[in-house]
Each structure stands twice: as C-alpha cells, then as structure tokens.
Amino acid sequence: MEVTNDKGMPMPSELKRLVHFASLEKVLNMARAHSIWPLGFGLACCAIEALMGTNGPRYDLSRFGYEVMRPTPRQADVMVVAGTITTKSAPFVLRLWEQMAEPKWCIAVGSCAISGGPFVDSYFVVPGARQIIPVDVYVPGCPPRPDAIIDGFLKLRAKILDPKVVEL
Amino acid sequence: MEKKISEIISELKEKFPQIKTSEETISVSTEDLLGLMQELKNSFGFNYLTNLTAADYPADAKGKGDGNEDEDDGEMEIVYNLTSVYEKLYLTVKARVSRKNPEIPSVFPVWGGANWQEREVYDLFGIVFTDHPNLKRILLTDNFEGYPLRKDYQWVGGRK
Amino acid sequence: METSIYSVLAFYVLAAVILGSAILVVSMRNIVHSVLFLAICFIAMAGLFLILDAAYLAVIQVLVYAGAVCIMIIFGVMLIQRTDMKQSNLFNRQTFMAGGVVALTLAVSGFFAGTTAWADLAANTPVPEDSLGQIGQLLLSKYVIPFEVAALLLLVALVGAIVLAKEVKANVDD
Amino acid sequence: MLENLFTNIAGLLRNLLDSAGVPPLWNDVTLLVVKLVAILVFILINALWLVLMERKVAGYMQARIGPNRVGPWGLLQTTCDIGKLISKEIPIPKSADKILFLLAPALVFVPPLMIFAAIPFGKDMVALDLNIGLFYVFALASLTTIIFWMGGWGSNNKYSLLGSMRVVAQMVSYELPMILSVLGVIMLVGSMNLTEIIAAQQNMWFIVTQPIAFLIFFIAAVAECNRTPFDLVEGESEIINGPYTEYGGMGFAMFFLAEYASIMIISAMATTIFLGGWLAPFGLTFIPSWLWFFLKMYVLIFVVMWFRWTFPRIRVDQLMGFGWKILVPLSLANVFVTGIGMYIYRAIGW
Amino acid sequence: MLRTETYTMNFGPQHPATHGVFQVVLTLDGEKIVKAEPVCGYLHRGIEKLAESRTYQQVIPYTDRMDYLASMLQNWGYVMAVEKLMGLEVPERAEYLRVISGELSRLASHVLATGVYALDVGGFTGFLLCFRERERMMDLLEELTGSRMTFSYARFGGVADDAPEGWLEKLDKLMDDMPGYIDEYDGLITGNEIFQARTKQVGGLSPETAIDYSLSGPVLRGSGINYDLRKAKPYSIYDRFDFEVPVGKNGDCFDRYFCRVREMRQSVRIIKQAIEQIKEIDGPIKGKVPKALKPPKGDAYAEIESSKGILGFYVVSDGTNKPHRVHVRRPSFINLGYLDEMSRGWLIADLVAILGSIDIVLGEVDC
Amino acid sequence: MFGNGLIKGLRITWKEFTSKKFTVQYPEEQHTKPERFHGRFVFDADKCIACNLCANACPNNVIELKSEKVEKKKFLTKYVMNIEYCLFCGMCVEACNKDAINFSLEHDMSQYNYDAIPLILVEREAPKPEPKPEEATPEASGEKAEPKVKGKGKQKEETPAASADKSASDEVAAGKAPEKEGQ
Amino acid sequence: MSDWAGVLIFLAVAVAFGAGGIVTSFIIHPRSIANQKFEAYECGVPTIGTTWVRFRTSYFLYALMFVIFDVETIYLFPWAIKYQSLGLFAFIEMMIFLFILIVGLWYAWKEGALEWK
Amino acid sequence: MLTISLTHYVVLSAILFSIGLFGVLSKKNAISVLICIELMLNAVNINLIAFSKYITPNEFIGQIFAIFVITVAAAEVGVGLAIIIAIYRNKLSVNLDEFDWLKW
Ligand code: SF4
Ligand code: SF4
Ligand code: SF4
C-alpha cells in the first residue's frame, strides 16, 4: 500500500546554502559526524533496542556522543526509524522528518523500517521508511542488536565524514 | 467449580429457554443478549468482561465454523468471555449476527470494559454495537475503507 | 558637573534609546512588542540613573520594572488577549485630540523647563558615597511613616488585586 | 607567583599601555575589554566543559562511561556539538512571532555574561567591583525570565507556551526566596559589595552562621536555572522541551549554553556569598585564590549535577507551593532570626 | 461570566512519555486536563489478520512482536491456546522452562516498566540502572533463545530448546543479585519523597471501576483486588510454587507502580523455586506433536497472566493448518480504555505519571 | 522524615558513580554472544539438498530458493535471503534437517544501499554437463571471505561496501551492483 | 562611574556575541524547504485550535505576588545594610513592615492564590 | 556646550511624559494605557532623581521619593491589571472604546 503523499516523496530535500566554503564544510562535517543527535522517536519493538538498549549502560552510545536524545525534531540530526511505519503513522513520520532542521540523516533500524519486515503483507503497513523519507543507513535485524545499531551509527559517521563511501 | 458453572447454566436455562448451552459456553440470540448479560452480572456475579471479540464465518466457508449457517452470506459470531473475579468462575457467551446486517446491542451499559473492545470489533469487523456511546474507529484511520478482519477483505501487500 | 565627553555621549545615547523605545511602546501594533520596548525603555532609564549617581535606583529600576512589572503586564496580556496578537494594540478614535492635548502639555512644560533658571538651584556638590546606607538610614528615621504606609499600600494592593482577579468560585459551573 | 598570575598579567598590560602613551581612560577601557574577552572565553570554555562534565557525570552515575571518543577523554565532544549546532539550520516557524523568536536566543547570554563581570574570581580578580554587586546580580538575573518568556511565547507553540508560563512562574517564585535569603548575610556584612562579603568571611564562612540561608539560596538557585528536580520548564516527559521546543541549531545552543552559564553563576554566587569565595580554608594559602574559587564552584556544580541525576522531577503545583509556602516564609523567618540574633549578640557584647 | 478558555493539545504521537506512538488529545484548562482522548492505532500492524495466512507455528514469531517487552509470555499464551484447542500435553521440564523463561521475561518487563516510570517522572538514572539489570536478563534469555527481545521460544507441546549448559546456575546467580537491585530501585525511586509526592494520591482508581472496566494486571491489583491468574486459575504448574500476589490499597499511581516492584520480588521467588525443582526433572522438552499441525475444528480461549495483565488468546480453527481466527485479548489495550476518566482533573504532569503507571506497550495496544 | 529518601537516593547514585562501569566498549571490545545467537545467516551449500523445508517454514517468505534437476538430484542454483523481511526467528534453521542453513555470531549487517541488503548465499548456474561439486559449489558463508562467490558475469569485482571500521568489511555477498540511493 | 561604564561595555559585547552567534549560524547553515517544515511542531501532528490561548488568573497572581514582594525587597536591602548601626527601633519598624506583608502572604495563601491550577 | 545640565533631564522627562500621555489618551487597549501610565511615572522618576542629584545631593529626598514612586507604580500596575481582568471577565473586552460607563 502506498503512502498518501501528495508531493511524491521519496525526494531528496534540496540543500541550499547562502555561502559555501568547501574547506569550512569539511570542518563542519567533522563536527557533525561526531555529534549526531538522534530524534527520540521510537515506533515499535526496535525502538527498545535502538533507543534504549544502545543508550543503556552496556552499549552506551554516549561514548560517541550520540546519546543526546532530542525530543523535538528541530534539534535532532538523525531520525532513527525504529519500528513499523503504518498507514496511520506515516503522515506524522513524514512530518517529523520534514520538520527536522538541515542537515539531517535517517537510519532505518530493523526489518520493518527497511521494508515493512514481518508485516509487509499487512493491510496497514508502509513497506519501509524509504517509501517516505530518504534513508542513509539500513540496519537489518528484528530487532538488531544494539551493537549492530552502533555499527549503523558508525557507518553514518563514515558517510558524513566522506559522503563518497556510499558510491562504492 | 465445575459444578457451580453447570448449576449456573441450568439456572440460566430456566430463565432464558432459548439459549443453547454446552459446558462453559452459552449461545444466545441478539435479542436476549442484553437481558442475559444483565442477569449474569447482577445475579451470578460475572462482574468482569475479560474478552470480547468476533469471528467471521462467511457462507463460502460453510461448515468451517462450528455453527450452522442459515443465511446466504454467512454469519459473524461475537464471543464474550466473562469472569467472576471474586468467585473465580469463567463463562463464554456467544452470539451470532448476520454478515449482511451486523448489529448487536452493546454491552457497555453492563461492563465498562466493553467500551474499547466493542470499538475494536467495530473497527475491524464492522459489527455495529447499537447504543454504544462512542462507536468510532479506534485502531484504523477514520477514512479507512473496509473491515480488514472480515474474510472477504481484499488488500495488496507491500512486498515487491 | 558632568563635563566629560563620555558621560555627555552616554546621556544622549540613553536619552535617544529611552525616547525611541517609548515612541515604539506607544506605536507598536502588537502589545507584546510594546511591553518589550517598555522593558528596553526601563533598562535605558536605569542607565540614565547611573549617570545621575543613583546606582541603587538604577538597579531596582531593572529589578522591579524590567524584571517584575513587565512580567506582570505580560501575564496580564496573556490572560486577556485572544487570537489576533498582531492587532492588539491599536489607536482609538481620539488620536488627534490626544495629539493636541499632548502638544499643549509639551509646550507648557517645555516653556517652563526652558525658562526656569535651573542652574541657580543647583547645589553643585557631588553625591556622597554610600548613598544606599544613607537611604536606609533616612527611610527608617525621617521617612518612617511613608515607609510603613508603603507596606500598607502594598498589602492593600495585593489584597485588592487578589480580590479583583480571583476567579469567583461560586460560578464555577456556568 | 601563581597567586597573582592574572593580576600580574593585567598589571603588565597596563604598564605596557602606559608606556605606549595611551591615555589613562583608554587604558582602562582596553583593560576592561581584555577582561571582558577573558571572561567571555572563560564562560564559553567552561560551559562547554560543563556540558561534557554533565554527560560524564551522568554516565558515571548510570554505570556507563559517557563521551570518550572525540578527542582525549572525549574532551572535544562538546566542541563538536557546538560546531555542529552553529552549522545547523534554525527553522523559523511560520506562525512564530519572528522578532521575539530570534531576539530571545540572541539575548539569553547577556545576563549571565554581565553577571560574571561582578564576580570576584580571586584575590583582586574582579572585572567590576560594584558597590551593590549583589543587587546587580539579582537585577540581571531577573531579566533572564523575560528572555525565556520571549522565546517560549515567540515560538507560538503550545508546549513552548506552557513552558514559558512555567518558566516565568517558576523563576518569579524562586527569585524571591533567593533574594530574601541573602538578606541575613547582608545584615551581617553591612554591604552589598561582593568583595566585602568575601572579606567578611575571613574568620568564618557564612554557611556556618547562615546555614538555612544557604540551603534556601541553593535550592532557589537550582530552581532558578531550571535544573532537576525543578526542571519542569523543559520537562521532557511532559512538555517536550518547553520554551526551546521550536529552536534548532544555534538558537537552541544559546539556550543550552546559557543554562550552563547560569549553573556556573549560581555556583559562583553561592561560593562567594556562603563559602568564602576565593578565601582559602584552613590557611591553605599555597593554592592560589582563584583555584580555590574554582574548586568550590566546581564542587557546587557537581552537587547540582548530582541532584539532576538522582532526583525525579517535582510537579508544577508542588513546585509553586514549595517556593511560596515553604521557602518564602522560611527566608523571612531567617531574616527575623538573624536580626534578633545579631541584636542579642550585640547586647551581650563580647 | 468569563471562564478560562480550554484549548486542545496533542500529547503524542511522538512524545517521550507516551512509550511509543500513541496520542492523547488533551483538552486543557491551563494545565488541568478537562478531557483526554486517547488515539491509538499508530502501530496497528494487522497481526490478527496476518496470523490467518500463516500456519500455526508461523504465528509464534508474530506474537513476539506484540508485547515486545515480555515476548515470552505472549508466545506462551498463544501456544497455550493452541494446546488447549488440540488437547496437547506439555512435558514437565518444558513447563518448568516456560515458567522460568516466562517469569524472567516478566521480570525484564517489570524492570523496564520501573525504569521507564522513573524516567517519566524525571529520574533518568533509575531508568538506566534498570537497564543494566535488564541487560543481564537479556543475556540469559539470549543464551536460551538466541534473541534479545523476540524470542519465539515456546513451541506447541514444549519449548524450542533446552537450557544450555550452566544456564540455570547463571540464572540462579542473577536471582541472588536481584533483590539487591530491587532494593536499589526502592532507594532511588520508590523511597524518594519527590517520587512519592508525584505518584501518591494521583490517578486513583476504585476497585469497582477497575473491575467494571476490565482492567487487569498491576492496574487491577493496585486497586486492591487480589486477582492474579497464576493464583486464581493456576495454569501450567503455577500451583507448585509458593508466592504471594501483591496488592495495593488506594489504587493510585504509586500503588500500581509498587505492585510491580513487589511482583518482581515474587518472580524472583518463583524462579528460585523453579530452578530448585527443575534440577530433579529430566525429560523431553517437547511433547509428541505432529509435524503438520492441523487442530480440529473449534475454538479455544486461553488466558495467562502477562506482565501487563490478563493476556488471552482466542483461536478458532477450521481444520486446516492455518488458524481461522486469532484474537488476542491485549491487557494494555483494555487497561488504556479507562485513561480518559482516570486523568480528568489532573495536570499534564499527572497524566504522564498515570500513563506510566498503567505500563502500556504500544505493540500490544495496537496489535 | 522529609529528606531521608532524597539523601538515600544521593547515596545510591554516589555509589554508582564510584563503582565499576558496566559498559562493553563496542567496537573494540565485543560482548560475547551466546552460541544460539541469531545473527547473519551462514549457509553450507554442500549440505543443502534444496528440499524447500526452510522456505516453507519461514513465516514471511524470506527465503528465495531455486533449484534445478541435475541427474535426478536437485541442484541448488539460488539461495537468497531477503533479510529485509526476516524476523530472525530461527524457524528456517529449525526446519532444516541437513544443518545447511545456520546462524552465525556476526551481527553487523548494516548497509548504505537498499539493494545490498539481501544475503545472496548462493547464486550460481547448474553445472550443465555433469555435476562437479568441488568447483561449482564454493563456500558462500560469511565466515570465509571468498570474493568469487557468485556465478560468473554478475559483477566484475566484488567490492565490499566500505565502511569506517574493518569489522563489517567482509561483505561477501554484497549482491548485485548496488545502486546509488537518492541522497 | 567608570565601573558602570564597564557595565555598558559588557552589555554591548554580550549583545553582540549573542546576535553574532545567531547571524553566523544563519550565514553558514544549509537550508531546505519542505511542505510542513515551518509549521509548529506538536508531537508530529497538525495543531488543533489556536496557540496563543488565554490562561487562568492564578498565573497572574503569581506575578502579582512577585511584584509586591519584589518591591518589598527594595526597602529591605537598605535596611539590612544599615542594620548594624540602626537601633532596635529600626528593627521593630522593619518587623512591622514585614508583618504587614506577611499578612498579605497569608491572605494570598488563604485565598488560594498560591495554588497552581 | 558639552555639559549635561538639569535642563536636559527636565526636557527629556517632559518629552517622555508627553509620549506617555499621548499613549494614555489615544490607545484602545486598557493594558496599553497602563503601560503608558508607567512611562509617565518613570518620567517623573527621572525628574526626581535629577533634582536629587543637582539640587539636594546630600538629602536623598529625590531618591527616596523615587522609591516610593516605584512602589506606587508597582501597586498601581497590580491593581490596574486586576481591574482590567475583572472588567474583561464581564465584558470580554479590553477595548476602552467599548467601556462607556460614564454615559450611565
Ligand atoms: S523489525 Fe522486528 S523488532 Fe523491529 S519493529 Fe519490526 S517487528 Fe519489531
Ligand atoms: S529467521 Fe525466520 S523469518 Fe528469517 S528466514 Fe528464517 S524462518 Fe524466515
Ligand atoms: S537449507 Fe536445509 S531446509 Fe533449506 S533447502 Fe537446504 S536442506 Fe532444505
């Protein structure tokens, strides 16, 4: 089932800059890569692992400085889509994504967020976050272990530091 | 325990001669439902509506359900699981409605717990609970079409 | 006399800020902005008080006016205003008449201010240090009656305002 | 040597300027600006470091480690954060009151910075030695309220609005006990000059003579800078992020840093007023005075963080009740008791 | 006469205190709640429908994804219903393993609930400390089942795997430590005056209403009703264990929370007894079950006490290898039904406390 | 007495503050995963008899399995796990009596591209003239990084999706040419 | 005087710092446009009703109380500074002053003005 | 002549007072009127303090008076706002044009 979306997403949001210095951008990317603040936003089971488990004492995402869970999209850098997106929740996931301030990234955690996962056949499930928002890193699993999620974060870090890693 | 349940059922049988009974299950028509439920709650202490759900038995699945289908289109069965919290008694009540015109009185006046459960059944099966105070879709979006748990509900999955 | 160029400069700058923000207070269409400019006006006035060697007054000007009265007014605004904040502070029909009255006042007071020989009155002595202590001393000796009256005034204001503003409990269910 | 490190630097600078033939007034101004820049840098570095410290403390109290990857021991973590925040978009909501929305973060740093000017960091280390320093601090602190309110109201968001209502009510309610609690100290000292207040603690810190006042001051101060258990303003589980809900990027960073700056202020103020400021306890004068000041300040900051990571959040009506029904009467009583005590003390004589 | 304006505010779906995607449309007067209309279904994934197109075994993993905090109990509830339908016997050792893993799962769920509740009222440390213990439980469960959250452990007529070597000893060790941990929560959360001020006398619920609204689990017991299926209608082998059912007095948030904390201690007790008893029992962990599972026509309703309350599975078979209908009586869903009435007249902060004390899992609410 | 609980709380946090930390510093240290851990799948093509049991047991049709009849024996030509749909429930592993499909302890499966997610465990062509299992059934498990897993002509070079840490770089079955996502 | 001039300089620099931070950020940050980006954030769903709503009077009463007591402090401080040299009489006067205000506090308390509703 | 004399202050105060007066007379919103009254009171304060400094620097009459003025102003705003709120409750408006009680 396609998500009701009038503007025809997925569509990479176009970044504009007033001034652009490539070297400054490099420095800033370095800062960005080490300070990815996730939007404290969990949809389903995966959220327990992705948002709580990784922040828990054992896996401690804070070591990388990524633990600053922001409750509002304005301050968040990465949207961790952890869980099933349903037809009902898709509009607000999209809205949250759109309300996030640039630059922003998205990690899809778990089968559900990648493709609808176990519920892909259901009448009420959106088959994956990529149907509505551009995803940067996919972390398969159901739910993935917190280690795997940290790995996803590190992959995102690599991508921010050097956007070319994706093109291999 | 066993004995007590059977006592209750035989007592009920006297009061409501139309009901069909088996061990812990009572089948009742929609007209008698409310009266029976009131009786169950007030006289027999079934103060707790554990579960309320429905199942769809369309006609083409004739014989697959455990009841006999008279109508062409089949029936839907509403199942009430009752509990007496203090006496620790358990009872199942079943009622059938036709699929064409699924209407049944709400038991919300008897047990408040029916509120959301009936809404859920309405949402997923389209069974109308008359006199329910707030019969709206609860899980699905308001503009959702169809009742997904009916057997004839058609949809397309998202798999590529 | 303050003759240092800096204090003169400070006076003019502050006076400009005061008058400018005062005009904005009156002319803003959004009452919330009015209140904010009022706060700026108060703060600039505190600066003026500093030039006038009244440091304590400057500080209480900030504390009481900018910090407290403004907030109270803001609360008042929030209690009262409804939807359209942008049009909350308009002029009424009497604007022109008011303009006339004000022009007259200004002329009269300007005339007297300009013609009075203020310089003759001037004592030409510097303000002593420890003004605060002196104020304290005076308040509790010479001005003790007004001092207590001030307390009473505050009490009455508090009680009165509570009585006025409190939601009447009897009518809760209408 | 270490003791007078900063004063010596200042003196050196003055001499340098003097010998360069700069007129004394400009000399003063230059020095002031230098001090100012020093304070600004000091606040920024400390605020950054405090954010990190907070995260570290949180980590350690929660059986985990906390930031340790960026830079040695994670020291560059918050620098990265700020770098990122600067380069992050500030979305201005359509319905917001744009003037207020942008003014609030720009101004929120003003009161803390100005307050720092009056705080004596060490022996002879105060940028502005004001006669009524204490009152100056309170007056400026009271301005914070209105700035927070501007942010919340300007956002035109229900959470922000609720947050700003709370911020105003809370700061207003706790400012009073804070001001009243230091009255006792002022009665003892007879001055509002912070340097004099410190000097008066030569023999005995005021925390000993005015313990209740210290408690009230500290509690009220914690509440003033919206820290747990009084962090209703940004109570995440209730009203998202309070007044900052709509702020992204630098707008948020400003509020964020200002919060830590105000923690520094309250700790510094509590140190100055009650813990003897830069005075060395037990005659341990070989440690320079400014180090003592920082030590005491950081102990208090740690306590504030400790509170945060231990206590749940109080409810808003309880908060107000606590402020008005307990702290205000208590601080008034403190004034009364101090007055009587001093009178008796004087009557008995020594 | 002017009254203050009421206004509507969305609390959720993306809100840190809603424990997932759940929305309450609040009508507020100042900060006071005039009306709280819960909107759920943001996580409705149609599990009941999907189950109709899966074979009986294949439904098991889906039950995991309902109450993902205590998946073990969901598995158990489902297989119990099918076992009832088919009249299957479960070997003793399997029963013990179910009890152990189920109670461990309950413990994990309660620990999380405790921690999240601490977070809801603003205590972050309690939350993360609870995670530490939960992590240890996860380790054990992972060792047993291979997954950290979605176990799919129960099988018809038994369990998937026997406990690995040394597992029971490790579990025993954890159970020895557990009371100490719970004491820690008591010190950090329960005993905290601020916490008590936030939760006591808030969101009171009378026993009559609790029963009338079919509330269950700690919500019901918090109001003073001693109704726990493990005691009331001992299923599996619960009649062999000696434990108590903690009940509250006032039915306020604190009682609901505290019931959970005390239940943890009881779970520890049960597990300890089970470990003692399982050592004597050797035997298969899976009963005789046909490969292609085709239960006879008919329906069955089985209920167990999950961590959130009464978890019932209603399974209808039409004689094929796929269920005709699976319905789940989800305790969270039904417990949530009374939220509106419960939160009226309280402040927003209280709503958070009330919602937290109900301990919902959205996967279960929305199914 | 008001304050007792507060002080007790402070004491507990202080105790935690000074006590040993619980953190396992992933990625340098790895938390030991139990044997039964449901990680990335490994597949032993030699053992598999293409009986389809696993695919049938799977609740979500994750396993895409193709075989060809070669001399009365089924020859597995394709075994792809679309793990983007997988529940990691272990039903397939349980169903396989030949122990061909199994879980490994490897958990890092994250990818930048959607198309790279499916695990292509076997993709080859059936031996035309006569079965030569030694050559034609290379190991395709995640353990042994043999780049030439897939049959010929799929892609020139197998390039593991590069990442910051080397731990995830043994991307054996990275799949078809990963296309760039719209970013 | 010079001290206070310092305050002014501080003020100027502080304002410049704040404004500078915001302006710099505006220059270097990237931006994008999306449909709902600049709508108010309310947990991810569209806002219902107006935002700038009226509040209850009880909030106002806090501000009122604060103003009254704030004004009170401006009398208290001069007194406190001079306390040591003032006599018993001044102390009693101040206590009367305080008493009058405490009556006000008590009244507000009694009237429920201190309840957050 | 670069000196600031009392005249400057008096003129400043007069202008400020006039602005306030203008606001009082011409604004619709009752709260706005209150704000403008505050402006007027502050104008008075400037005068008082200026007099205090220039004329009686040793007696502090002006300053003490200013303190009293601040007190009165605070009380005035408090009561004034309370009155406005009370009126608003009955009339649902703060628009002074609509208050025509004087015509009763
Ligand atoms: S991927 Fe699995 S664990 Fe994650 S949300 Fe979906 S069903 Fe739950
Ligand atoms: S783990 Fe489960 S879902 Fe995944 S392939 Fe195996 S059977 Fe299918
Ligand atoms: S993996 Fe096992 S079950 Fe699957 S086809 Fe091969 S042998 Fe059969």
pLDDT at H1 over 70: no
pLDDT at E213 over 70: yes
Structural domains of chain G, ranges and CATH numbers in brackets: 3-111 (1.20.58)
Nearest to D267 by CA among D249, D291, D294, D307: D294
pLDDT tens by residue, G80-104: 888 877 777 778 888 888 888 888 8
pLDDT tier, F155 (very low <50, low <70, confident <90, very high otherwise): very low
pLDDT on residue D287? 76
pLDDT at A107 over 70: yes
Tokens of D23: 């007129």
* Chain D neighbors of G21, CB-CB under 8 A: 86, 105-106, 109, 250, 253-254
In whole angstroms, give the CA distance from residue D104 to residue D245.
Answer: 13
State the complex-level ipTM.
0.85
Residue with tokens 């993935």: A144
Give the H or E element holding residue E63: helix E56-64
pLDDT on residue G3? 66
Q: Residue F38: nearest ligand to its CA?
A: 2
What's the pTM value of the predicted model, to 2 decimals?
Answer: 0.86
Spell out the SS3 assignment of B5-36.
Answer: HHHHHHHHHHHCCCCEECCCEEEECHHHHHHH
Stated length of chain H: 104
Task: Domain count for chain H, please give it.
Answer: 1
Nearest Cα of chain D lies from the Cα of A71 at a distance, in angstroms, of 6
Q: What is the mean pLDDT of the segment spanning A19-40?
A: 82
pLDDT tens by residue, E6-37: 788 888 788 877 777 888 888 888 778 888 88
Nearest to E259 by CA among E225, E287, E235, E288: E225
Q: What is the mean pLDDT of the segment spanning E263-288?
A: 86
Whether the CB of A110 sits within 6 Å of ligand 1: yes
* H helix intervals, H27-60: 30-54
In whole angstroms, give the CA distance from residue E246 to residue B88.
Answer: 18
pLDDT on residue D2? 65
pLDDT at E96 over 70: yes
pLDDT on residue F182? 37
Q: How far is CA A127 from CA A45, E45, E58, E68, E308, in A?
A: 16, 11, 20, 20, 30
Q: Which residues contact G42 (CB under 8 A, 6 or more apart)?
A: D157, D158, D159, E9, E10
Nearest Cα of chain A lies from the Cα of F100 at a distance, in angstroms, of 21
C101, C104, C106, C108: CA torsion to nearest 10: -140
pLDDT at D91 over 80: yes
* Chain H neighbors of G70, CB-CB under 8 A: 74
Tokens of D319: 């908060």
Q: How far is CA E286 from CA F92, F123, G4, in A?
A: 18, 36, 86
Residue C74 lies in a domain: yes
In whole angstroms, give the CA distance from residue D188 to residue D184.
Answer: 6
Q: Residue F82: nearest ligand to its CA?
A: 2
Which residue in D has a C-alpha nearest to residue E124's C-alpha? D309
Distance in Å, CA F46 to ligand 3 centroid: 10
pLDDT at G37 over 80: no
Residue C37, strand partner residues: none
Tokens of D224: 């003033």
Residue C63 lies in a domain: yes
Nearest to A38 by CA among A96, A92, A86, A88: A96
pLDDT at D132 over 60: yes
Look at A72 and D84 and tell me if their CB atoms are within 8 Å.
no
The string of DSSP codes covering D4-51 is THHHHHHHHHHHHHHHTT--HHHHHHHHHHHHHHHHHHHHHHHHHHHH
Q: Which domain holds residue H28?
A: 6-98
Q: What is the mean pLDDT of the segment spanning B129-151?
A: 85
The string of DSSP codes covering F54-78 is HHHH-TT--EEEEEEEETTEEEEEE
Q: Which amino acid is at C67?
A: G
Tokens of G59: 């909030």
Q: Which residue has the higher pLDDT, F174 or D228?
A: D228
pLDDT at F136 over 50: no
Tokens of D130: 């004001």
Q: Count contacts between C and H (CB, < 8 Å).
A: 236
pLDDT at A35 over 70: yes
Q: Which residue has the higher pLDDT, D129 or B148?
A: B148
Q: What is the mean pLDDT of the segment spanning H15-28?
A: 82
Q: Is D156 helix (H, G, I), strand (E, B) or coil?
A: coil
Task: Give just the sign of the alpha carbon dihedral B7, B12, B18, B20.
Answer: negative
Q: Which residue has the higher pLDDT, A15 or E158?
A: E158
Quick one: how far is CA C20 from the chain centroid? 15
Q: What is the mean pLDDT of the segment spanning D82-101?
A: 84
In whole angstroms, give the CA distance from residue G66 to residue D144.
Answer: 15
pLDDT on residue C84? 58
Q: Which domain holds residue C31?
A: 5-91
Residue C116 lies in a domain: no
Question: Does B154 reach chain A within 8 Å, measured CB to CB?
Answer: no
DSSP β-ladder status, B128-130 and B103-105: parallel
In whole angstroms, give the CA distance from residue E261 to residue C17.
Answer: 62
pLDDT tens by residue, G56-67: 677 778 888 888
B7, B9, B15, B16: CA torsion to nearest 10: -170
pLDDT on residue D312? 85
* DSSP assigned state of B80: E
Q: Which of A29-33, A119-123, C124-128 has the lowest mean pLDDT?
A: C124-128
pLDDT on residue A15? 65
Q: Which of A5-14, B95-104, D331-340 has the lowest mean pLDDT?
A: A5-14
Tokens of E92: 């003793």
pLDDT on residue H51? 80
Quick one: how far is CA C90 from the chain centroid? 21
Chain mean pLDDT for chain E: 85
pLDDT on residue D16? 81
Residue C144 lies in a domain: no
Q: What is the mean pLDDT of the segment spanning B47-59?
A: 86
Q: Provide φ and ψ at E127, rounded to 5°.
A: -60, -50
Residue C44 lies in a domain: yes
Report whether D143 contacts D172 (CB < 8 A).
no
pLDDT on residue D117? 80
Chain mean pLDDT for chain H: 78
Report whether D263 contacts D50 (CB < 8 A).
yes
Q: Provide φ and ψ at C15, rounded to 5°.
A: -60, -40
pLDDT tier, A50 (very low <50, low <70, confident <90, very high otherwise): confident
Report whether A123 contacts B155 (CB < 8 A).
yes
In whole angstroms, give the CA distance from residue E150 to residue E145.
Answer: 9
Preferred mutation among C63, C73, C81, C85 to probe D, highest tally of D CBs within 10 A: C63
Question: Does C135 reach chain D within 8 Å, measured CB to CB?
Answer: no
* H helix intervals, chain B: 2-15, 30-44, 114-125
pLDDT at F141 over 50: no
Q: Which of A13-17, A163-167, D12-16 has the lowest mean pLDDT?
A: A13-17
In whole angstroms, give the CA distance from residue D259 to residue D257.
Answer: 5
pLDDT at F144 over 60: no
Q: Which residues contact F117 (CB under 8 A, 6 or more apart)?
A: A114, A138, A140, F82, F83, F84, F109, F111, F175
Euclidean distance between the first and the last CA atom of chain D, given in angstroms as a whole number: 39
Buried residues in F26-54 as b, exposed as e (16+ CB within 10 A): beeeebebbebbbbbbbbbbeebbbbebb
pLDDT tier, F132 (very low <50, low <70, confident <90, very high otherwise): low
CA angle (D238 as vertex; D236, D241 as ends), nearest 5 = 40
pLDDT tier, H2 (very low <50, low <70, confident <90, very high otherwise): low
Q: How far is CA D10 from CA D35, D289, E5, in A?
A: 8, 16, 59
Tokens of B26: 């009572």
Question: Does E292 reach chain H within 8 Å, measured CB to CB?
Answer: no
Nearest to D85 by CA among A35, A153, A23: A35
Report whether F101 contacts F43 (CB < 8 A).
yes
pLDDT at A5 over 50: no
pLDDT at C36 over 60: yes
Residue C35 lies in a domain: yes
As a whole-number percent, the residues of chain E with pLDDT over 70 amount to 99
Report whether G59 contacts D118 (CB < 8 A).
no
pLDDT at H104 over 60: no
CATH assignment of the domain containing H29:
1.10.287.3510
Nearest Cα of chain B lies from the Cα of E216 at a distance, in angstroms, of 9
pLDDT on residue C173? 41
Which residue in D has a C-alpha nearest to residue G10's C-alpha? D114
Which CB contacts under 8 angstroms, 24+ apart, belong to E222-228?
E222/E247, E222/E248, E222/E251, E222/E252, E222/E255, E222/E256, E222/E257, E222/E258, E222/E259, E222/E357, E223/E248, E223/E250, E223/E251, E223/E255, E224/E248, E224/E249, E224/E250, E224/E251, E225/B85, E227/B85, E228/E305
Residue H31 lies in a domain: yes
Which residue in D has a C-alpha nearest to residue F9's C-alpha? D310
pLDDT on residue C130? 67
CA angle (B133 as vertex; B132, B138 as ends), nearest 5 = 80
pLDDT on residue H92? 62
- Of C45, C105, C134, nearest to H46 by CB-CB distance is C45
pLDDT on residue H98? 60
pLDDT at F169 over 50: no
In whole angstroms, give the CA distance from residue E235 to residue E213.
Answer: 24
Report whether A62 contacts A38 (CB < 8 A).
no
CATH assignment of the domain containing C56:
1.20.120.1200
Q: How far is CA C111 from CA C11, C104, H10, in A?
A: 22, 10, 11
pLDDT on residue F148? 39
> What is the Rg, in whole angstroms, of the alpha carbon atoms belonging to chain A?
16
Q: What is the mean pLDDT of the segment spanning E64-83?
A: 87
Report whether A64 contacts D67 (CB < 8 A).
yes
Task: Domain count for chain C, please give it.
Answer: 1
Burial (CB count within 10 angstroms: exposed 0-12, middle 13-18, buried 19+), residue C148: middle
pLDDT tier, C87 (very low <50, low <70, confident <90, very high otherwise): low
* Neighbouring subunits of F (3+ Cβ pairs under 8 A): A, D, E
pLDDT at F93 over 80: yes
Residue C104 lies in a domain: no
pLDDT tier, A40 (very low <50, low <70, confident <90, very high otherwise): confident
Look at E4 and C167 and tell me if their CB atoms are within 8 Å.
yes
pLDDT tier, A145 (very low <50, low <70, confident <90, very high otherwise): confident
Nearest to B79 by CA among B25, B131, B8: B25
Report whether D327 contacts D174 (CB < 8 A).
yes
As a whole-number percent, the residues of chain D with pLDDT over 70 amount to 98
Tokens of C85: 């904040």
Report whether B90 contacts E229 (CB < 8 A).
no
Chain mean pLDDT for chain D: 82
* Chain A neighbors of F90, CB-CB under 8 A: none
pLDDT at A6 over 60: no
Q: Ligand 2 — pocket residues by CB below 6 A?
A: F 57-60, 62-63, 81, 86-92
Q: Which residues contact F18 (CB under 8 A, 6 or more apart)?
A: none
